[in-house]
């Protein structure tokens, strides 16, 4: 199970929301690029980045912040949030983003998916379905789709999409466990590669997620639980990094 740390950017800063509520925002670092480097040091193999401002406006507000992250890292980055045109996809892929996540536009403009898949391989285009009680929410989770979550997935599958990022909104940022049953139900009906997202709280949740590998769930995006250091190994990582910093400072002092 591939664990993918999430970085949400709002007003240029690294934040986490609770159930997508912009009024319940917690800032973790002023510079998202610093956060990306921390996750890379902790052996992340892929990062998931969301431009929250773009999700609301459709404008790539934090494009330069994301470019900085991509430039500083040696691992793939996937980006979502407000990507609603071929031009927006091209801009991200041109700076080295590994793959883009199309959310709202998959509902409001499905022809965009068809157009993108004529230009790019399916490995470059992922569809994000954020659902509440089985109904996809769009435009920063402020509007609802007329389709059910699995119906949207099957529509995307028919167009050539191979992977869905599935988020159970009711669990996202709540630190009370992920939506095991909702994710299982969705994965069974979709029959696609699935990246789970929302609500992972501890290592027990990760073990439960392993049970869903048979249904195509092969990876998971983890946000607040990582930021709040809910995994025992994180204490070791942070201690080790502190030692490296102390060693570096001592060596530098000796050279002076």
DSSP per residue over 61-72, as a string? TTHHHHHHHHHH
The active-site residue out of 130, 149, 172, 205 is 130
Extract the tokens encoding 219.
Answer: 């990876």
Q: Are 89 and 120 in contact (CB under 8 A)?
A: yes
Q: How crowded is residue 249: how many other Cβ atoms within 10 Å of its Cβ?
A: 10
Reply yes or no on whether 8 is catalytic. Answer: yes
Q: Measuring CA to CA, which residue among 8, 19, 219 is closest to residue 126?
A: 219
Task: Give the H/E segment covering residue 38.
Answer: helix 32-41
Cα–Cα distance for residue pair 254/190, rounded to 1 Å: 60
Tokens at 181, concatenated: 């049953």
Nearest alpha carbon to residue 144 among 135, 134, 155, 156: 135
Enter the tokens of residue 107.
């509902």
CA-wise closest residue to 39 among 66, 1, 10, 5: 5
Q: Which residue among the candidates 8, 53, 172, 205 is catalytic per the annotation?
A: 8
CB within 8 Å of 211: residues ≥ 6 apart: none
Q: Which two tokens stand for residue 149?
A: 């979550």
Residues carrying an active site annotation: 8, 130
């Amino acid at each position: 199970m591939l664990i993918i740390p999430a970085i949400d950017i709002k007003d240029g800063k690294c934040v986490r929301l609770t159930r997508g509520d912009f009024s319940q925002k917690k800032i973790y670092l002023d510079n998202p690029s610093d956060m990306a480097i921390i996750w890379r040091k902790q052996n992340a193999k892929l990062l998931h980045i969301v431009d929250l401002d773009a999700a609301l406006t459709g404008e790539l507000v934090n494009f330069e912040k994301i470019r900085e992250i991509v430039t500083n890292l040696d691992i793939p980055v996937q980006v979502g949030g407000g990507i609603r045109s071929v031009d927006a996809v091209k801009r991200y892929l041109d700076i080295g983003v590994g793959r883009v996540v199309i959310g709202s536009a998959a509902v409001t403009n499905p022809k965009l998916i068809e157009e993108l898949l004529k230009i790019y391989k399916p490995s470059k285009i992922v569809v994000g379905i954020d659902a509440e009680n089985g109904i996809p929410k769009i435009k920063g989770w402020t509007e609802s789709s007329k389709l059910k979550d699995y119906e949207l997935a099957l529509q995307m599958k028919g167009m050539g999409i191979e992977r869905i990022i599935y988020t159970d909104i009711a669990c996202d940022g709540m630190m009370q466990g992920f939506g095991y049953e909702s994710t299982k139900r969705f994965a069974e009906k979709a029959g696609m590669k699935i990246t789970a997202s929302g609500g992972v709280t501890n290592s027990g949740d990760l073990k439960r997620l392993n049970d869903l590998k048979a249904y195509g769930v092969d990876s998971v995006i983890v946000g607040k639980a990582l930021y709040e250091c809910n995994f025992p190994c994180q204490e070791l990582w942070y201690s080790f990094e502190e030692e490296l910093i102390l060693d570096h400072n001592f060596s530098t002092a000796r050279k002076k």
